[in-house]
Each structure stands twice: as C-alpha cells, then as structure tokens.
Amino acid sequence: MDEKILAIKKWLGTGSVNIFGYPMSGKDTQGVRLAEAIGGKLLSSGIIIRANEAEKHKNLSSKGNLIPTDVFYEWVLPYFSRDDLKSYPLVLSSIGRWFGEEDTVMETAAKAGHEIKVAILLNISEADVKDRFEKLQILNDRGERQDDKDLAVFQTRLDEFRLKTLPVLEHYKSLGLLLNVNGDQSRDEVFSELVDKLYDFSQN
C-alpha cells in the first residue's frame, strides 16, 4: 500500500480529493486517514459550518437542512486560499453538497491551486445508515452531535443528501471524476478499497 500512497501523493500534488456519502458513512474518518497518509490536510464542511455557527451564535443546520448557498460560500470557500494550506494536498469532506454549488467550488479550488481531481462516494444504503444511527443511540459515541441524536433531524439529513447531493455526484460522474467505494465494510477495508481505486484512477 505504501507504494500506492506515494503514487497518489505524487499525482495529486496540491490538488484535492472530495469525499461524499450519507451521514455516518465515514467521510471524516476516511478523510482524516487519507489526509494523514498523503501528508495533506482535511477540510470538512460539517466541521467548518459547526465552528462558524458556534462562533457567530447562529443555528442554521440544527434541523438537518443544508445551510444556504451564500452562507456556505462565505464560510467555507475562503479555506481554499489560506496560506497555511497552500502547499498541501487537500482531502475534502463534502465540500459543495447542494446541487449548483459544485462549479463554484471547483473553480475556487482550482484558482487557489487545489484543483479537485476526483470525487469519491462512500456507497452505503439508507437502510444501513439508519441501522448505524440506531446502534449509535445505544453506544452514544458521537459526542455532542445533536443532529445525530434526533431521528427526525437525522431523517432530514438523509432526505437532503438524496435530493440535493446525489445530483452533485451525477455532475462529477459526467466529468469522469467519480469513484464509488463500498462503505459497508470495516474501516480498514473501506480505506484499502479507497486507496486502490485512487491509485488506479491516478495511473489512468
């Protein structure tokens, strides 16, 4: 795997990999692992948005809806131009989740030297996601994430992904930039498949 990681790192340069998936599909988990492997940095739209909501005392996403596009642009897109990220490859966790945002996201990333070279979908069914949700209520291992504790809010998040984010993935697919990874495996198996498919893509 080490040789594949090195090849991916060389191919990616300071470019970006954008990872998508249903809530609880493992986007941030796999994103952190990939970023560490290639010596890159993770940008998670969810983390950025929650930090801004806390700082600005705003509550835009607590009911499970995606934040308005203009606010998303204001809060998230400036990260692409940060000096402390300039020389690193970026692993993005769902940057540009609402259909219509993807072109602006890709243009902004490219202008900042972080061209989005591939998008990855961690494929998992809604039924499996709901099963994970139910298990997490017992394990309580999502900390203070209130949007992962309220079933109605969580269902809204699933609906938002299906209605607004799946079309984004179709756009990446039309550009030949979408890779599907089976998200219904162990974390190690998901990462192994992700690396294999990234490597194959980078060689072609």
Residues of the chain short of pLDDT 70, as ranges, are: 137-149
Query: What pLDDT sits at residue 141?
Result: 54
Residues 178, 173: Cα–Cα separation, whole Å: 5
pLDDT of residue 167: 97
In the prediction, which pLDDT does 109 show? 98
For the chain, the domain total comes to: 1
- Can you read off the two tokens belonging to residue 201? 């893509």
Mean pLDDT score of the chain: 92
Q: Model's pTM, two decimal places?
A: 0.91
Question: Side by side, which strands form the sheet with 90-93?
Answer: 41-44, 90-93, 16-21, 116-123, 178-182
Cβ(171)–Cβ(99) below 8 Å: yes
| pLDDT score for 22 | 92
pLDDT at residue 52, rounded to an integer: 95
Q: What is the pLDDT of residue 135?
A: 77
- What is the CATH number for 150? 3.40.50.300
Return the pLDDT at 97: 94
Give the pLDDT score at 132: 79
Render pLDDT for 77-95 as a digit per residue (tens, 0 to 9): 999 999 999 999 999 999 9
Res 146: pLDDT: 52
pLDDT at 128: 84
Range of the structural domain that residue 190 is part of:
2-203
Distance CA 177, CA 64 (A): 28
